[in-house]
Structures are given as C-alpha cells and as structure tokens.
Amino acid sequence: MPGPHVAHDLGQYARFLYRWHGMEVPGTGEQARSAALDRLQGYVLPYSDLETRVLPGRIEDYQFGELDRWCTAGTLMWQGHERLGASDGAISIFRPEQLPRLVRIRGLRPGAAYVSLRNLLAEHDFCEFDWIAKNLGGFPPQILKALWDLVWAGELSNTRLTPLLSLMSQRARRTRSGRYHQQRARSGRRLPEAIPGAAGQWYLLTGPRFRAAPPAERDHALMRQMLDRWGIIGQRCLQAEGVTGGLSRFANILDEFVERGGVERGLFVEDLGASQFGRIDALDLLDRSARDTPAWIIAAADPANPCGRLAPWPKSTNPRLTPQRVAGARIVLSDEGPIGFLSAAGCDLITFDTPARCLRKRKSDLSCVLARAARPGQPMLLRKVDGQFPAVSPLSADLKSAGFKESRGGYICRT
C-alpha cells in the first residue's frame, strides 16, 4: 500500500479512476448497475452523456432509456442544474434514501410567474402536466416553460426522465441518423405522443415531502459519497463538485473516518491537494495501476477524467484550440497522461503537447482508440487534427494504419 510519502502522477491517477469506476472491464447485471449508481449519485453530468457514454462505459449491457425505467420504478430520483441547449441539460441522480442528504439546496428562482406554480405543487404530490395546466389556467407552452425553469433551478423534478428523453429523441429525429435514434430503436420503446418535455409526474424537491437532512448529517453523507466516487479526495475534489469551505470544513468528519479505520491520511496523488484522504481499497488499487497499458476514451465530462477539474488541461499542440468538459466531447487518456481530445461534434481532434505525445506507441494508441470508437452506422470522421487537415498532420500515417481512409470530408473509419 502506498505510504504518505508516495505521490502518483496524473497518468497513474487517470488509470486508477478508470479502474475505480469499473470502466476497464464493464460489468453486467444488477451488481454493475448498483456499483455505477453508487459512484455517480450526486455528480452533475449532461444527461446525454450520462445516457449514452457514462453509464454504457460502466455497464456492458446497459440499454438506452434504462434510467427512465429506474425512475419509474422509484429506485432513482434526479435533480436538474442547468439547461444545455434546446434538448439537453445537466442533472444529478440519487437513490431515494440518499436524496435528502445529497440533494443540492439552492435559492428559489425569483419571479412572480413561479409563485402560483410552487403553491400548487406544494399542496399536491406528483402532478401530471395536464392537471397542472388545467388548475393554473393559461397557455400550456408557457406553463411548461415555467416548469422547466424550476427544473433547472433545482427546485422541481419528475417521476420519470421521459421529458428529457423525449427532447433528445425529438432532436435525433431531425438528423438523418444518430446514436440516440439507433439506441432508441434498439430499445423497442415508444415515447408518448404528448408535448415533448411534458410527460411524467412533477413534484417539488424543495417541498415538505423531501425536506433536506440536518447539516451535520448532510456533511457526513457528502464525505462518504465523495470517498466512494473518487476513492482519494483532496481540495481539488471538493472544488470539482462546487463544495465550499474546503477540507477544513470537514476536518472532524474525515478525522473520524481515519480513526474508525478504512481511510488513510497522506499525500497520494500529485497536485490533488496538500492534504488527502483515501480509502484503503482505493490506495491499494492506485498502487497496482501498472504502466504500459492500452489507452482508453471516455466522455470529457465523466468524473473518471481528471483533466479540467482535478488537474488543469495540458497544453495543446495548437495553442488556439482549447479542450472543454462539455456534452458530447471525449478525451483519450493513457497512463502517461491525456493524449487526445475530440470536440463535441466528434470530428475535430486536439492532441496535447506532453511527454506522452513524444512516444511512438502513444501516437499509435491514439489512432487505434479513435478507430475503435467507430460503430456500425456511426463512422468516426476526423475533419481536422490540431486545426489542420488530417492528411498534413503528423498523425496521418498512424491514422491510416489504424483503419482510417481519406474522404472528401477528412479521414473516416467505418466498421
């Protein structure tokens, strides 16, 4: 087991997170689903990434729309945080028993338009949109907009994720083909013909039924959850999740965890913070994260990606191009650190000016990982590499060796 004097670098930590989240060998069945939810609950993610990349990356037999079925069954709840375009949003998911301890408490959205809606929902649990519209009166699209305003303010939720799923599917229908359309077709499920975004039953997360737990209980639950998610936590982990007060705020709780056993204090990962706490099983896994392992690709917004939150983005080969943790974007990581970033559109590649880039093996790994990311009916198209056409990129030969071919739009790989 690593001692307090051992500090692993970013590449080793990235490999650890990949394994800690069960992504190296995705599981199947109920056990894999339970482990994924335990790690992810409370973490804010784009719904589109959660549905199409984050959960499928951990659960081999995950089916599109399964999140909605868990909500319908009452085994999952969710909170909205931010609208992302017209058909996506940032959400967090919870087990019902943990929601009072982990839900984010936010101030009420100002505006007289929301008062009557709050008052109505405070008096009635789980209301369908038609009933809400009938009792409020007014123009249904305006009422629906007010509902979604309160969703993204973190005040309101739904017994299903069908509203978001229907918005995503509506967007997919406007494209010739796409991942959402294909997965929805494979799931064999039809979405309701109601107004997109209006299905399910609505309820207040801020109402008496879901009253938040006392602050001390919330702090204990938060630290337990962060140790479960990250394995090893430092100041940067709290910053990554928007937790205020720093580790000093939770010093007594973390000291208690150490005294009870199962958690160690020390310096385990470079640049994660001067004071760190790690679960013993996580420290053991970190110490066993061997070098010279294959590279991998995950959603840029995935908590298993340390770049952009736990660690700064490395310098890109083209300084005019900047990677971001946005919906749809992906990152290619290795145990020497990040080696590539795919834009949200999936066709612009950024490479990083890091020691890993200088290794011939990693250049080949990057090309092979990108080629493997192609799916039947969903080829991998690279229009630009570091802002220039792939044919003039230093990666050109490696991309061709991995299976990419020149086309009018750039380099394309089909399966």
Q: What does the alpha-carbon distance between residue 46 and residue 397 come to, in Å, rounded to a whole number?
A: 35
Would you say residue 9 lies in a domain?
no
Give yes or no: residues 59 and 93 share one domain. Answer: yes
DSSP 8-state symbol, 25:
S
At 94 the pLDDT is 96
Would you say residue 304 lies in a domain?
no
Give yes or no: residues 92 and 137 share one domain. Answer: yes
What CATH number is given to the structural domain containing 264? 1.10.10.10
At 190 the pLDDT is 43
At 181 the pLDDT is 41
Work out the average pLDDT over 44-67. Answer: 95
Q: What does the alpha-carbon distance between residue 178 and residue 310 come to, in Å, rounded to a whole number?
A: 32
What is the pairing mode between strands 276-279 and 201-204?
A: unpaired
Give yes or no: residues 79 and 205 share one domain. Answer: yes
Would you say residue 293 lies in a domain?
no
At 363 the pLDDT is 77
At 360 the pLDDT is 62
**366, 376 Cβ separation under 8 angstroms:** no
Listed as own residue / partner, the contacts of 190-196 with beta carbons closer than 8 Å and 24 or more positions apart are: 191/162, 191/165, 191/166, 192/162, 192/166, 194/129, 194/166, 195/129, 195/140, 195/141, 195/144, 196/163, 196/166, 196/167, 196/170
Give yes or no: residues 33 and 180 share one domain. Answer: yes
187-218 per-position pLDDT tens digit: 444 434 468 889 999 999 977 677 888 999 99
**268, 6 Cβ separation under 8 angstroms:** yes
Q: Over 90: is that where the pLDDT of 81 sits?
A: yes
- Residue numbers of the domain that contains 196: 26-210
Give yes or no: residues 86 and 193 share one domain. Answer: yes
Give yes or no: residues 326 and 283 share one domain. Answer: no
Q: What does the alpha-carbon distance between residue 405 and residue 121 come to, in Å, rounded to a whole number?
A: 56
Give yes or no: residues 219 and 205 share one domain. Answer: no
Would you say residue 265 lies in a domain?
yes
Residue 221 CB partners (closer than 8 Å, separation 6+): 98, 101, 102, 213
Give the domain-ending residue among 210, 225, 245. Answer: 210
381-415 per-position pLDDT tens digit: 999 999 999 999 999 999 999 999 999 899 999 98
Would you say residue 15 lies in a domain?
no
Give yes or no: residues 184 and 224 share one domain. Answer: no
Residue 325 CA to its chain's centroid (Å): 9
Would you say residue 295 lies in a domain?
no
Q: Over 80: is that where the pLDDT of 357 sits?
A: no
Give the domain-ending residue among 158, 177, 210. Answer: 210
96-116 per-position pLDDT tens digit: 999 999 999 888 898 888 999
Give yes or no: residues 317 and 387 share one domain. Answer: yes
Give yes or no: residues 334 and 221 share one domain. Answer: no
3-state SS, residue 231 = coil
133-147 per-position pLDDT tens digit: 999 988 998 999 999
Residue 364 CA to its chain's centroid (Å): 27
Least confident of 224-228, 355-359, 374-378: 355-359
Averaged pLDDT of the chain: 88
Would you say residue 48 lies in a domain?
yes
At 362 the pLDDT is 73
Give yes or no: residues 352 and 241 share one domain. Answer: no
In percent, the amount of the chain with pLDDT more than 70 equals: 89
Written as one string, the DSSP assignment of 101-145 is: HHSPP-PPPP-GGGHHHHHHHHHSSSEEHHHHHHHH-S-HHHHHH
Residue type (1 letter), 251: A
Would you say residue 395 lies in a domain?
yes
Count of structural domains, the chain: 3
At 197 the pLDDT is 87
What is the pairing mode between strands 348-351 and 384-385?
A: parallel
Q: Over 70: is that where the pLDDT of 170 sits?
A: no
Give yes or no: residues 186 and 79 share one domain. Answer: yes
Give the domain-ending residue among 187, 210, 233. Answer: 210
At 192 the pLDDT is 40
What is the pairing mode between strands 156-158 and 263-266?
A: unpaired
